[in-house]
Amino acid sequence: MTPRPLKVVAFTTPHTGHLMCLLPTVYAFTRAGHEVHMLGHVHQRAAIDRAGAQFVDLFGPHSIEDVDSTTHPVPCRHVTFAATHAESVADDVAALEPDLIVYETFAVIAPVVARLLGLPYVNVATNQVCVPSVVPEMYLDPRLNLSDACTAAVERLRDVHGMPNASPFLWLDGASPWLNLYCEPEAFLPSSKRAELAPCEFVGCLAPELRAPVGESLFPDRDGRTRVYVSFGTYVWVYFGSQVLAALTVIAEASPALDVDVVITLGGFPIPDDERRRLTGCDCVTVVEFADQWSALEEADIFITHHGVNSTHEAIYQEVPMLSYPFLGDQPLVAARCQELGLAVPLTSATLEAIEPSAVARAIGRVLDDASGFADRLAHARGWEEHTIAARPAIVERIATMVRTDRWT
């Protein structure tokens, strides 16, 4: 007798990068025949549909900005959101009759809802700083500015919902006692962090089948030039806009002497017209508002990156050498690991240090001079990505068995 499919409810936040970390796991559930309802933001609907899940608008009826528009860092607002809307969202989720809750760590509301409904919950850790040991240092973050609503939310989660670990940083401290899924291959997570996420399985953040080809090239059709794709994502612009712009300007102004074609994406962030003109001062630099990164990396020879998890592993899968310029969170850790593995070259010696024009030429030269070495090492690392993707269906099957038997081991 074939076991009945599970009913799964998945939670994501409006952050696109976090959705991309969660979707491969959701897709593995839907491919295995399980029914998944996914609560997210309306702008994520198309991506959720492609993964085979049924979209549910979480943030239309329940706006984050309505309950907390001032707290910084911005993810702390997910704590306010959870304490404010947990009961009403739990009522909506109960109507779906789920067997299991799956969520990315920043979706603080998910384990609160699961606890209210008495359901097991599985966490997808979006990066390696999503562990309890990071929380104390977050109180030293110069960006920290907690609203009264956020402070009250922490108290409510602690006193009403019985969460003794409640803090403004639950978006980093959302590990599950049932199971945690990590969104990089095993080689990227240090053993100390692995212990904090136990029990832990490795599911990665890539689902190549969900990437639709764009078809239109971003790069000029010129033979012989090295193609350099530059993206620092979207979130870093919020806090480091001036540093991002300064780095892009150095890269653009260094490019004419390097026999390269450069495509820079701004991640949708508006910049002044005079700054845009500085970036596009030569015909070898193209600036776009958004780029389909998967397609861009298919064409690129080198990727200048902040080392977000998705960006890093997309580059590894496409076997593109990286130049590292990380900003915050786990980005310096991912950058350092890629450099240790010989997959990336740093542009500076310290995080947020200004890039020297000569450093751009030097880093590109290191990659080109060791092209065969980078090719070998990236091919080996791509094997880790492929192994992680191939293991995902078996992990989903184990989860389904544990849900049906209530034996979480």
pLDDT band for position 175 (cuts 50, 70, 90) = very high
Q: Which residues pair with 186 in a beta bridge?
A: none
Q: Is the pLDDT score of 59 beyond 70?
A: yes
Q: In this structure, which amino acid lies at residue 177?
A: P
**Pure H helices in 120-234:** 135-138, 148-159, 191-196
| 268 close to 234: Cβ distance less than 8 angstroms | yes
> Given this model, what pLDDT does residue 236 score?
87
- In 146-224, beta strands by DSSP E: 179-182, 200-202
For residue 200, give every residue at least 6 positions away whose Cβ sits within 8 Å of its Cβ, in sequence order, or none: 179, 180, 181, 182, 189, 194
Longest dimension (CA), the chain: 68
> Given this model, what pLDDT does residue 128 score?
87
Mean predicted confidence (pLDDT) in 336-346? 97
Residues comprising the chain, all counted: 409
For residue 229, give every residue at least 6 positions away whose Cβ sits within 8 Å of its Cβ, in sequence order, or none: 218, 262, 263, 265, 291, 293, 296, 297, 299, 300, 302, 303, 304, 320
- How confident is the model over 96-135, as pLDDT tens digits? 999 999 999 999 999 999 999 999 999 999 988 888 999 9
**Percent over 90 (pLDDT), the chain:** 81
End-to-end CA distance of the chain: 24
Question: Among candidates 381, 369, 247, 250, which has minimal Cα distance to 320?
Answer: 381
* 396 vs 279 pLDDT, higher one: 396
- How confident is the model over 214-269, as pLDDT tens digits? 777 888 887 789 999 999 998 888 888 899 999 999 999 999 989 999 999 998 88
Mean predicted confidence (pLDDT) in 2-29? 94
H or E stretch covering 373 = helix 371-405
**Percent over 70 (pLDDT), the chain:** 99
Question: Among candidates 213, 409, 168, 205, which has minimal Cα distance to 310?
Answer: 205
Phi, psi of 291 (to 5 degrees): -140, 145
Q: Is 61 exposed, middle or buried (0-12, 13-18, 19+ CB in 10 A)?
A: exposed
Distance between CA 13 and CA 44 in Å, rounded? 10
Q: Indicate the SS3 state at residue 275.
A: helix
Task: Please tell me the pTM assigned to this model.
Answer: 0.94
Please tell me what DSSP assigns to residue 62.
S
pLDDT band for position 409 (cuts 50, 70, 90) = low
> Given this model, what pLDDT does residue 143 score?
86
Supply angle C-alpha 293, 381, 384, rounded to 5.
100
Mean pLDDT of all residues belonging to the chain: 94
Q: Is the pLDDT score of 169 beyond 80?
A: yes
Phi, psi of 32 (to 5 degrees): -80, 0
Q: Is the pLDDT score of 212 beyond 80?
A: no
> Given this model, what pLDDT does residue 3 score?
84
Mean predicted confidence (pLDDT) in 385-397? 97
Mean predicted confidence (pLDDT) in 386-409? 94
Q: Is the pLDDT score of 270 beyond 90?
A: no
